[in-house]
Amino acid sequence: MTRDGLAIDPITLEVLRHALAAVSEEMNANLIRSAYSSNIKERRDCSCAVFDKRGRMVAQAESIPVHLGAMPFSVAAAISKTDTFHPGDVIVLNDPYYGGAHLPDITFIAPVFVDGKLFSFVASRAHHADVGGKEPGSVAGDTTEIYQEGLRIPPIRLWREGHLDRDLADLILLNVRTPVERLGDLRAQHAACETGITRVQALASRFGADLLTNGMDEVMDYSERRMRAQIEKLPDGTATYEDYLDGDGITDSPIPIVASVTIDGETVTVDFTGTSPAVAGPVNAVYAVTASATYFTIRALTDPDIPPNAGCYRPIEIVAPQGSVVNAGPPAPVVGGNLETSQRIVDVILGAFSKLCPERVVAACQGTMNNVTIGGISPRTKGHYALYETIGGGFGARPDRDGVDGVHSHMTNTLNTPVEALESAYPLRVERYELIRGSGGSGCYRGGLGIRRDITIIDHTARVSLLTDRRSSRPYGLNGGDPGRAGENVLIRDGEETPLPEKGTVTLHAGETVSIRTPGGGGYGVAQERDEQAIERDRREGKV
């Protein structure tokens, strides 16, 4: 392999590929270590990546899929909006209609200079536990326009030549409920970018700037070749699948999402024509989110070991009608598009592929992130607090084994908030945290079990926002497998249980409990073909 007369042998290419990935991973590790909020330091709801000077993603940390496929759109927006970059600059943005995904995800983009010239970019994205808006946590399930969802930040310099713009920082912090925590997390993102800059410069010094630049090009070309080779192994053809979101938080009307997948040689086209127009509630997705979900699904179906970068996604074409729920325009609310609609996009693409290459496709996972935000005035600190977390559920059964119990799946890859961390940081108590017996769909292989997590309010009144799905519909099974059990949201008051809406906000008082019961995964194959030893094991372990 040669570019501009510089030969890159296969061993050097592998060294460069892994070195660039290591930069991203170290950035992410430093972000997690430096963060203030449990959402980042415990749940690890953050991602980092390295880009070339044209804004093409070269390497990423293996963290949050919905972040990483969408982050290149943020970098492109920052480049298009900024006339000149200087060493020490950091561009900040979160506007979904300017390269972001939803408002809580704040992205930092920093230029890397080598020998006085712009060489590349590094970026970090983190989900902030509050960015303003109508409800604590900024993930309300009943918003009707983006202005209710929080502070919108277009691409703008937050650090100028190494110096924090205090005026802009003050403006951001004045519009959030937890400014000390937010500033700590923003500084952690800045530290992650500084780590990335230092490491990329060290690679340029070690290998030479020209060779590293050519290596970045070759890494992307290498991923493209591998992706094309994997797609070519799939049978040509077209298949369509339709699934639904339960509602948008304003009405309970099902929202159809349609995907037609066409495999043609070494390329794949995913066409969302037929999908619902944008809706009133907050489940609209911007194009960046739809692209991210599409890229994730196809990479998972082909070879997850293909290095994820811009080259990996070149053989994939996406058709997402403008103004639809998978390509919404302003001022549509979009907080749940990133969280819930992204999951259903994966479901429908997998459903279409199940008709073309069923041996590669899992049954539906829980299909929701089970978003919960709880906020109020803490009786401990007398100041605002905002908890945000997602809760795992059942992973779909696979063609050759059971689904995994109680995990995050597909577009989210976060951890849980440990009970000890939650109770030490917030005026809340976790009453129950357990797998739900029998919630996985039956089949030759059983779907994974959902989770029950009960959180009680202590000594104050709190606002609880829920943004969940698969409460009416159930995660589908495949090849004769049964669907997983639907989830539930429940208010427990004086021992009495009252159903809560799947999307919306309620006020809870001291001693009251919100119980989130997440869906199970779909089963695979006919239940009558399940091995007797597996059935006995399920009974022994209390899973059925």
Q: How far from the centroid of its chain's Cα atoms is residue 421's Cα?
A: 22
286 to 60, 129, 222, 327, 339: CA distances (angstroms): 22, 21, 29, 5, 12
| Confidence (pLDDT) at 413 | 81
> Quick one: average pLDDT of 240-263?
97
Distance CA 65, CA 279 (A): 25
Around Cβ 461, how many Cβ atoms within 10 Å? 12
Kindly state the average pLDDT of the residues 237-245. 98
Confidence of residue 544 (pLDDT cuts 50, 70, 90): confident
Contact (CB, 8 A) for 316 and 268: yes
pLDDT value at 359 more than 80: yes
Q: What is the pLDDT confidence band of residue 156, given thresholds at 50, 70 and 90?
A: very high
Task: Fill in the DSSP letter of residue 251.
Answer: -
pLDDT of residue 4: 53
Say what the pLDDT of residue 7 is: 66
Strand-pair category, 90-93 with 105-114: antiparallel
What the block records as the tokens of 163 is: 């110096």
> How confident is the model over 90-144, as pLDDT tens digits?
999 999 998 889 999 999 999 999 999 999 999 999 999 999 999 999 999 999 9
Encode pLDDT of 190-232 as tens digits: 999 999 999 999 999 999 999 999 999 999 999 999 999 999 9
The C-alpha atoms of residue 96 and residue 150 are separated, in whole angstroms, by 12
d(Cα 137, Cα 142) in Å, to the nearest integer?
A: 13
CA distance 69 to 73: 8
Residue 280 backbone zone (phi > 0: left; psi -120 to 50: alpha; other: beta): alpha
Does this model's pTM top 0.85? My answer is yes
3-state helix, strand, coil in the chain (%, to 5): 30, 25, 45
Q: Is the pLDDT of residue 56 over 60?
A: yes
* Mean pLDDT estimate for the chain: 95
Give the alpha-carbon dihedral of 27, 31, 33, 36, to 10 degrees.
Answer: 170
Structure tokens at 481: 């497998």
pLDDT > 60? residue 513: yes
Whether the pLDDT of residue 322 is over 90: the answer is yes
Judge whether residue 1 has pLDDT over 70: no
Measured at the CA of 429, the angle between CA 423 and CA 435, to 5 degrees, comes to 100
Closest CA to 257 of 232, 235, 283, 282: 283
Q: For residue range 466-477, what is the model confidence (pLDDT) as tens digits?
A: 999 999 999 999
Confidence bin at 179 (pLDDT 50/70/90): very high
User: How far, in Å, CA of 46 to CA of 29, rounded?
Assistant: 10
Angstrom distances, CA of residue 235 to CA of 268, 295, 309, 448: 11, 19, 25, 29
pLDDT-based confidence at residue 486 (cuts at 50, 70, 90): very high
Q: Is the pLDDT of residue 67 over 90?
A: no
**399-437: per-residue pLDDT in tens?**
999 999 999 999 888 888 899 999 999 999 999 999 999
> What is the C-alpha separation between 393 and 396, in angstroms, rounded?
10
**Could you tell me the CA-to-CA distances from 17 to 21, 172, 214, 238, 307 in Å, in that order?**
6, 37, 12, 34, 8
- Res 65 pLDDT > 80: no
Amino acid identity of residue 166, one-letter, is R
SS3 537: helix
Q: Is the pLDDT of residue 2 over 70?
A: no
Tokens of 178: 């937890």
CB-count exposure of residue 161 (10 Å: 0-12, 13-18, 19+) = exposed
Q: Which of 36-45, 234-243, 424-433 has the lowest average pLDDT?
A: 36-45
CA distances from 383 to 39, 170, 465 (A): 18, 18, 19
**Per-residue pLDDT tens for 278-289?**
999 999 999 999
Sorted by where each begins, the domain ranges of the chain are 2-222, 362-544
Q: What share of the chain has pLDDT > 90, as a percent? A: 91
State residue 6's pLDDT score. 59
DSSP run (H or E) holding 454: strand 451-457
For residues 504-514, give the mean pLDDT: 97
What H or E segment, with its residue span, contains residue 237? strand 237-245
